[in-house]
Homo-oligomer: A and B are copies of this chain.
Amino acid sequence: MKQPIGVIDSGVGGLTVASELVRQLPKESIIYLGDTKRCPYGPRPKEEVIQYTWEMVHFLLERDIKMLVIACNTATAFTLDQLREELAIPVVGVIQPGARAAITHSRTAEIGVIGTDGTINSKAYVDTLRQINTDIEVHDLACPRFVPLVEKGIVQGEKAYQVVRETLQPLKQFSNMDTLILGCTHYPMIKALIQEEIGSTVTVISSGEETAREVSTILEYQNKLYQGEQAPQHYFYTTGDVGVFHEIASRWLNQKIDAVDKIELNTVKKA
């Protein structure tokens, strides 16, 4: 199937997921839509997040995507179930793949989760982990200072490390915790610092990597992987500033981005 995989996010964070899709599924084409203008979704009311997400979904459905990836933790928490129910194409979110990978890796069944205030307060990771295994002990921690750091491009050096060190302090008491989920799509950009601070005995799970893996699983399972010889084509859309998006996308995807288009999202009915 030559149709592209659609990826939606509240802004640029989901590019870490897109970047893993490009790496793990190099034959597949991607359409990415970041609602940068209305980013972040985290602090918004649930109904608003649902409305904005449906607007993005409608935009991509008109471009004939074969699968939808919700590359945003907040939007996943609020819309995954209804999107799966109402769309005819497969829908994958970012929470379940990270949770499942943590269960696969953990031998102590004591798992850490870090994310934005919104994601941690939603308890979406705790619920997903416990849905699969009621005996899992979860240590979750909101890290509100990480996203601003990454968005400013401060992803290495003493200042970044200091923020990481101070923020992760509460997790260091759990000596039996052997796995830590990066429950925010921005965090892979500072994964090296997080790994250094949390220690080499803890496996750090990047939800982008794991989401791409599960996209591959479901496409193959549904016999929808692209099998032809044509080179992939990627399209990027933003509701915000094209220049800023283009610069971040080129850096994060570590490749030249041909075109980023600015679009307006239409106010649409939910279903």
Whole-angstrom distance from the CB of A255 to the nearest CB of chain B? 15
Whole-angstrom distance from the CB of A231 to the nearest CB of chain B? 11
Of A104, A135, A212, A225, which is in contact with the most chain B CB atoms at under 10 Å from its CB?
A104
- Indicate if the CB atoms of B132 and A216 lie closer than 8 Å: yes
- Indicate if the CB atoms of B27 and A213 lie closer than 8 Å: no
CB interface residues, A 92-107, toward B, < 8 Å? 92, 96-97, 100-101, 103-104
CA distance A236 to B32 in the complex (A): 47
A214 interfacial contact with B, CB 8 Å: yes
A173 interfacial contact with B, CB 8 Å: no
A26 interfacial contact with B, CB 8 Å: yes
A122 interfacial contact with B, CB 8 Å: no
State which of B27, B134, B217 has its C-beta within 8 Å of the C-beta of A100.
B217
A242 interfacial contact with B, CB 8 Å: no
Residues of chain B within 8 A of A103, CB atoms compared: 24, 213, 216
CA distance A209 to B133 in the complex (A): 16
CB contact under 8 A between A217 and B216, given known A132-B24, A132-B27, A225-B131? no
Residues of chain B within 8 A of A133, CB atoms compared: 24-27
CA distance A135 to B104 in the complex (A): 28
CB contact under 8 A between A225 and B24, given known A217-B97, A220-B96? no
Residues of chain B within 8 A of A131, CB atoms compared: 225, 227
CB interface residues, A 49-98, toward B, < 8 Å? 84, 90, 92, 96-97
Residues of chain B within 8 A of A101, CB atoms compared: 213
Of A25, A212, A213, which is in contact with the most chain B CB atoms at under 10 Å from its CB?
A213
A142 interfacial contact with B, CB 8 Å: no
Question: In the complex, which residue of chain B has the Cβ closest to the Cβ of A28?
Answer: B132
Question: In the complex, which residue of chain B has the Cβ closest to the Cβ of A206?
Answer: B104
CB interface residues, A 5-35, toward B, < 8 Å? 24-27
Taking A26-B132, A26-B133, A217-B217 as known contacts, 9 extra A-B pairs with beta carbons closer than 8 A to each other, sorted by chain A number, are A24-B100, A24-B132, A25-B133, A27-B134, A101-B213, A103-B216, A131-B225, A131-B227, A218-B218
What would be 7 A-B contacts, judged by CB atoms less than 8 Å apart? A24-B100, A27-B132, A27-B133, A96-B217, A100-B217, A132-B216, A218-B221
Closest A-B pairs by Cβ, 7 of them: A104-B213, A214-B217, A26-B133, A100-B216, A217-B217, A24-B103, A96-B220
